[in-house]
Chains A and B, each alone.
Chain A
Amino acid sequence: MRIRDLAYWLFLMPVLAAFIFVVVAPFLLGIFYSFTDWNGIETKGFVGFDHYLALFQDKRFLDSLWFTTKFSVVSVILINFIGLSLALLVTAKLKTSKVLRTVFFMPNLIGGLILGFIWQFIFTKAFAGFGAMFGIESLQGWLSTSSTGFWGLVIVMSWQMSGYIMVIYIAYLEGISKELIEAAEMDGANAFQRFRHVVFPLVAPAFTVSMFLTLSNSFKLYDQNLSLTGGGPYESTQMVAMEIFNTAFGRYDMGYAQAKGVVFFVIVAVIALVQVYINKKREVEM
């Protein structure tokens, strides 16, 4: 096929049309709207950088950004730690390996909204019941404070995503040849040394993929946030995605919400690119 061929464009057309209408046009139009006083229906005039300057004074937005950042850092570390541990466990030739994989992966098939509701029940009812039974005070009143809301979100996210990350690590772990590990064993390396110097460097590419996926999923989280805490109490567990939604559909400040959307994109893009760049460099050095 050549560019001038009709076939080339016929093959591309359906996807290209959808992509332009659904992604490209709204994206560009969104940038335009963010500089105007758009109210969702019409625009009366340009406001320049007013929306963007206002962002820096906007406590709601800054709080949500800070909360999202804290949540993402903690989640990324926990998910990757648990995911890699689970992967090492189920690749250890256990009799139950297959069943364990199936169980750990299962939460990923279920939507974040449903998982959030299930855990809302666990945290508010089952935790309280368990706490009452064993006299553990700290299990009472979960999700009613911002710190239990925070850890609630972290627990749900880790429980859901660790199995997914486990699957990725398994793919890399199974690619490591047995001869290599046996050779290290014969050279007198103990289990920890074999892991640190042989296995770990070989699964480094898995880190790049896993970090990318966990970071972008944590940062963009919405469904679990909505169904688990709803952003409460008093908007203290509101993440960026939800804050943008509420600016638009709760306070009907469309042009301003759109400016937040553009900034959100820039942040996600910068984090993703920096992260991939650093990890690629690290892979080479190892």
Chain B
Amino acid sequence: MRKKYLIPLEILGITLAIIWLTPFYLMIVNSLKTKREIFEDTLKPPSSLTFDNYVQAFVELDFLRTFANSLIITVISVVIIIIFSSMAAYALSRTKSRISTILLFVFIAAMLIPFQSVMLPLITIFGKIEMLNRFGLIFMYLGFGASLSIFLYHGALSSIPRSLDEAATIDGANRFQIFWYVIFPILKPITVTVGILNTIWIWNDYLLPSLVINKQGMETIPLKMFFFFGEYTKQWHLALAGLTLAIIPVIVLYFFAQREIIKGVSEGAVK
């Protein structure tokens, strides 16, 4: 009886999954065709396998450097967000006072602010102090990422009993030691969540870096994606190869860490 209704559901699921993957399939299939072949027919498989598009896209995107730029900015920003947000959340959670309550409220409330509401003054301020560069960008990511990260850490910290802090104090540990050696290791699950959420956001972010570091040689992957989309000409054969190249690192990572990623995202949203 159970089996009977599961088979149609199984077929439905597989059908939907195929539909879900079709855009990726069409992207990859057409990235292996010549410009002419794409023009003639987008649906049939390529007549011969050629990786010319990939070679050209790789060179024109300056892919290794672009990839390294994205990697550097993402990794440094995420590490900084993790370190400083967890520390801030710890201070807010272990010091019960009106100031802590207000600060936490302001951090959380700021999540509602759309980027476009602060974009212009932000760029003006950072332009004046000549910080429209990578340092400025990473600093901005800390500022924008703080709200959600502090919120998640604060939630996790409230379930860690204070008696643990007190025991460590009696053993002669100071505040920094207590946090780094006793509390931070216990926070590991939420650190994974915070890390994953911020990585997805920063790796894919387009608008902020386009305003801050849009200079030759500094571009991240999203910034380079406009390369093949001219005002009047679209070089789809190169663009599709470039888009596939851009996605490969993400898919590889997803392949190895899908359980952690899905769990992290779900915990980040549910809490």
Contacts and interface: CB of A to CB of B under 8 A. Distances in A.
A253 to B, nearest CB: 11
Given A25-B125, A29-B121, A171-B266, A133 B43 contact: yes
A209 interface: yes
Contacts of B103: 12, 16
B27 A118 contact: yes
A222 B250 contact: no
A94 B9 contact: yes
Given A111-B222, A119-B23, A125-B38, A18 B261 contact: no
B20 interface: yes
Interface in B69-99: 84-85, 87-88, 90-92, 94-95, 97, 99
B1 interface: no
A241 B116 contact: yes
A268 B112 contact: yes
Interface stretch (B52-60, B187-195, B239-247): B239-247
A129 interface: yes
Given A113-B206, A272-B112, A8 B91 contact: yes
B240 A100 contact: no
Contacts of A53: none
Interface stretch (A71-79, A85-93, A140-148, A180-188): A85-93
Given A21-B125, A122-B26, A3 B247 contact: no
A114 B84 contact: no
A258 B123 CA distance: 12
A105 B142 contact: no
Contact of B42 (A95, A99, A126, A227): A126
Contacts of A15: 84-85, 87-88, 142, 146, 150
Given A26-B121, A111-B205, A99 B17 contact: yes
6 residue pairs, one from A and one from B, having the closest CB atoms: A22-B143, A111-B204, A11-B91, A18-B143, A26-B121, A26-B118
11 contacts: A11-B88, A15-B85, A25-B125, A26-B121, A26-B125, A104-B17, A113-B206, A118-B27, A118-B243, A167-B265, A245-B119
